[in-house]
Structure 1
Amino acid sequence: MEPVEDIVIVGAGLAGLATALGLQRRGVKSLVLESSPAIRSSGFALGMWTNAWRALDALGIGGKVREHHILGERLVVLSSSSGATSAELRLKGAQGKIGKHEFRSVKRDSLVEILANELPKDTIRYSSKVVLIKEDGNLKLLHLADGSTIRAKVLVGCDGIYSLVAKYLGLKEPDFSGHLSARGFAEYPTNHGVKPEYLLITGGGFRAGMLPTSERSIYWFFTWRPSKKDKIDQNTTKMREFIIEKLTTSKAPNEIIEVIKKSEMNKVLSSHLRYRSPFSLLNGSITKRNICVIGDALHPMTPDLGQGGCMALEDSVILARYLSDSVYTGNIEKGMEKFAKDRRWRCAEVITRAYVVGFIQQSSNCIVSFLREKVLAKIMAKSLLKTPDYDCGKLRNF
């Protein structure tokens, strides 16, 4: 007979580990199944906005993460065509409706490691890839790649953009946004001397930026809409040359070009940016009795607001609270319904806002470019603070 687990979380990424930790803080045990043989640390860094820090504080690890990552002081938006500053926004100490804002660029591997280390050692089971989900009465029967099976009373899908759990729920596959993205990370032996600012360059068919994570490391990104003329070999040298050429032929500051020249690039040199249609979220099943999806499995979105990881942390705290409450009351389905009601509109709104902001920021259309540099840049900059002005709430221990 297959073992029965109370709560099984598929995926030991940011959302999966944060959910397991949130449940653990409330005295509820879970099992996390991870397909890789060890913790995955892809992606270099994440922009962590105010809503993410509130979630990390609720999980009890905000202080540990802050120790190694510098506080962002300012957002500076530059025009790729003129090089002029089109918007400037104070981040450090900026006041939102429900408290002061906080922004830091955080190393993904550092954050994942902190989350994993907070969990009991038997929480994560590696080399455990779920390949099939079946009904087994009120339980979910999970078939793993190694031939073993597990029965779960509750199933939480944190298995990424191509989620098997989301497919099981009937959610449509994410759509291609029409944009590609490349990312990199520069490490310095001593202080790099770059100001603690989020530098963002927009227009001309691309969007680029760099964010210091610490005094010795800088994260950068480059997203663009490929044209028929863009023929890029998938190797580090050619990709770097392509990005530098795009930036050099624009009015991008030399500072970001030098950082890219010195940096390590992601093994996945260019990623297709995908998002889940807001209509799919509003009309589809994101929960069903004793199963749900969160993080990228729920709301893949374009990175134009830097909210993918932040929203995953919101999901985790809210789900951990509702799910732990329902475990103690014995009504799992009600907890899942509360989670769906809480997250559906929030996720749809942020996905839509991110897509629209990305379209405006990267457009090379002359009318859109004029409006962006004269009016819209300031509005979009403010939207970067409006979206994270959100509180996922606390995790009170019993």
Structure 2
Amino acid sequence: MSEKKAEKQTLERDLDVQREMMEGEYQEIVIVGGGIAGLATSIALRRMGLQPLVLEGSKELRVTGAAISLAPNAWRALETLGVAHKLTPFYAPLNTMVFTDLSSGKTISTNSLLNISDDLSLRSVHRKALLEALAEELPPTAIRFGSKLSSIKNLPDSSLLALHLEDGTVIKTKVLIGCDGVRSVVAQWLGLLQPVHSGRSAVRAIAVFPNGHGFTKNEVYQVLGEGTRSGFIPLNDKEVYWFMTYKSHLDQDADLWKHPELIRDTVLQRIEKAFPAKFVEVVRKSDLETTSLAPLIFRYPWDLFFGHVSKGNVTVAGDAMHPMTPDLGQGGCSALEDAVVLARNLGETLQKDGRTEFDEKSAEEALKKYAKERRMRTAGLITGSLLSGWLQGETGWLVKMIRNTILYRYLFSKLPQVVDYDCGKLPVIGSHS
């Protein structure tokens, strides 16, 4: 390359940087992703007087999907966010968990969940209802739909970041929070390893019984065996959330992912002769609009310790930080924890310094504290989920023995301690413009 050509390219880069510094809007805090983690984080920050902007790639709120189980830790976070009261009256507490061995057809364990307080009991709720309840807490201008992040750049001689969107928009920010899911652009920028396939996939759906289903509303029913873990949970008198996880190769069922009817029929073919009749009937009644199939993805727990969960004024939350398998039902719960813990650390830093705005040092300090607080907790949840999924999905005699003697008799008795987690309250830092 000639010297003149190199000088020209350098000049063009310098001009691009200057243009970015001069052009584009400024937002002190930007959250990428308008799912559970992104909406909850925005609410938590706004409750302290901050004004984050949520960038959501889709053109509207992503309310597709079936249901989500929320444990006491999630309800504590939702109470802090002022949202819990919108949901608890409509969903019955779950107080019993029944496991049936598919090979024998016998009930092998019934675990009571009554030792968790009624106000914070495990409940399964419609995913749509949770997202809408969160979104209602935000003003219309808080979420900018159709705004998909394409790249992140550091601006020279500045603590600001330049966020480039696919539509050509450039937004400058002091604090960037990635809540953009398992394929997070922000996580990639931080240098976190790509999440990996767990070797299993999951089907989820809501079954609708127009005349009522007749199942016990407070019971979680599960079937284990033949490399699968399946179950259903009544949501109300007419709707039942059901799921199935099974061994698979990545992309094994790619031809089914966008075809809900084929997903349902494939599951029916698999279970019709072997599964209890009531489970088959639940699957047959699936609402196709809620039916989905996806590979189960997780992040290696050690990546949370050796990778950059935060770097300078950038961090991640929710699935962007700690994607995990659903075997402890803690994916959405831990995302809600993240929101409160992250906002609390940011707020406490401002409060301690008597500031109304972040500078480079204060933002970095707050995000480091957040990352430190979340590493051990989320790494443990990922590990526990993987172990629980393996024990409940295998059929060998040794695994069954371990499952029946250790998982159900010991580990499940400790589950309330895992989910009865308090992520804390939010400080009051006054108005913030």
Q: Do they fold alike, i.e. is TM over 0.5?
A: yes
Matching residue within 321, 326, 333 for 1:310:
333
Q: For residue 181 of structure 2, what is the aligned residue in structure 1?
A: 160
Residues 326 and 335 in structure 1, CA contact (< 8 A), matched pair in contact too: yes
Could you report, residue by residue, the CA deviation over 1:183-215 in whole angstroms, capped at 9, with x for unpaired residues? 111123343221121111122200001111222
Q: For residue 277 of structure 1, what is the aligned residue in structure 2?
A: 300
The alignment status of 1:393 with 2:418, answered yes or no, reads no
Q: For residue 80 of structure 1, what is the aligned residue in structure 2?
A: 102
Matching residue within 114, 126, 136 for 1:107:
126
Residues 95 and 101 in structure 1, CA contact (< 8 A), matched pair in contact too: yes
Q: For residue 361 of structure 1, what is the aligned residue in structure 2?
A: 392
Give the 3-state SS of the residue equivalent to 1:338 in structure 2. helix
Matching residue within 213, 224, 228 for 1:192:
213
Matching residue within 345, 352, 359 for 2:376:
345
The alignment status of 1:34 with 2:65, answered yes or no, reads no
> Which has the larger displacement, 360-369 or 270-279?
360-369
Distance 1:293 1:231, change over 3 A: closer
Q: Distance in 1 between matches of 2:212 and 2:284?
A: 17
Q: Give % identity.
A: 39
Matching residue within 253, 257, 260 for 1:236:
260
Residues 69 and 122 in structure 2, CA contact (< 8 A), matched pair in contact too: yes
Q: What letter is aligned with 1:243?
A: V
Q: For residue 173 of structure 1, what is the aligned residue in structure 2?
A: 194
Residues 233 and 239 in structure 1, CA contact (< 8 A), matched pair in contact too: no
Q: What letter is aligned with 2:419?
A: P
Q: What letter is aligned with 2:372?
A: K
Distance 1:384 1:209, change over 3 A: farther
* Cα distance, 1:247 vs structure 2: 2.9
Q: Distance in 1 between matches of 2:147 and 2:253?
A: 38
The alignment status of 1:379 with 2:398, answered yes or no, reads no
The alignment status of 1:56 with 2:78, answered yes or no, reads yes
Q: Distance in 1 between matches of 2:135 and 2:85?
A: 16
* Cα distance, 1:246 vs structure 2: 3.2
> Which has the larger displacement, 62-71 or 264-273?
264-273
* TM-score after normalising by structure 1: 0.93
Could you report, residue by residue, the CA deviation over 1:24-52 in whole angstroms, capped at 9, with x for unpaired residues? 11111110000011000122110111110
Q: Distance in 2 between matches of 1:325 and 1:227?
A: 45
Could you report, residue by residue, the CA deviation over 1:335-364 in whole angstroms, capped at 9, with x for unpaired residues? 111101100011111100100110110012
* Cα distance, 1:278 vs structure 2: 0.5
Q: For residue 245 of structure 2, what is the aligned residue in structure 1?
A: 223
Residues 347 and 427 in structure 2, CA contact (< 8 A), matched pair in contact too: no
* Cα distance, 1:227 vs structure 2: 7.6
* Cα distance, 1:231 vs structure 2: 7.6
Q: Distance in 2 between matches of 1:267 and 1:164?
A: 27
Could you report, residue by residue, the CA deviation over 1:114-171 in whole angstroms, capped at 9, with x for unpaired residues? 1111112210000000001110121110001111110011000000000000000000
Q: Distance in 2 between matches of 1:378 and 1:46?
A: 25
Q: What letter is aligned with 2:402?
A: L
Distance 1:253 1:377, change over 3 A: farther
Q: For residue 117 of structure 1, what is the aligned residue in structure 2?
A: 136
Q: Distance in 2 between matches of 1:373 and 1:10?
A: 43
Residues 232 and 239 in structure 1, CA contact (< 8 A), matched pair in contact too: no
Q: For residue 14 of structure 2, what is the aligned residue in structure 1?
A: none
Structure 1 unmatched runs, 5+: none
Q: For residue 345 of structure 2, what is the aligned residue in structure 1?
A: 322
* Cα distance, 1:248 vs structure 2: 3.4
Could you report, residue by residue, the CA deviation over 1:286-330 in whole angstroms, capped at 9, with x for unpaired residues? 001111000000000001001000000000011011112334434
Report how many residues are paired: 393
Q: Distance in 2 between matches of 1:16 and 1:233?
A: 30
> Which has the larger displacement, 68-77 or 182-191?
182-191
Q: For residue 47 of structure 1, what is the aligned residue in structure 2?
A: 69
More helix as a share of residues: 2
Structure 2 unmatched runs, 5+: 1-22
Matching residue within 34, 41, 46 for 1:24:
46
Residues 10 and 156 in structure 1, CA contact (< 8 A), matched pair in contact too: yes
Q: Distance in 2 between matches of 1:380 and 1:42?
A: 33
Look at both structures and tell me which one has the larger radius of gyration over its CA atoms: 2
Distance 1:37 1:227, change over 3 A: closer
Matching residue within 293, 298, 302 for 2:321:
298
Matching residue within 362, 365, 378 for 1:334:
365
Give the 3-state SS of the residue equivalent to 2:141 in structure 1. coil
Q: What letter is aligned with 2:141?
A: D
Q: Distance in 2 between matches of 1:128 and 1:240?
A: 33
> Which has the larger displacement, 277-286 or 63-72?
63-72
Q: Distance in 1 between matches of 2:417 and 2:270?
A: 31
Q: Distance in 2 between matches of 1:253 and 1:53?
A: 33
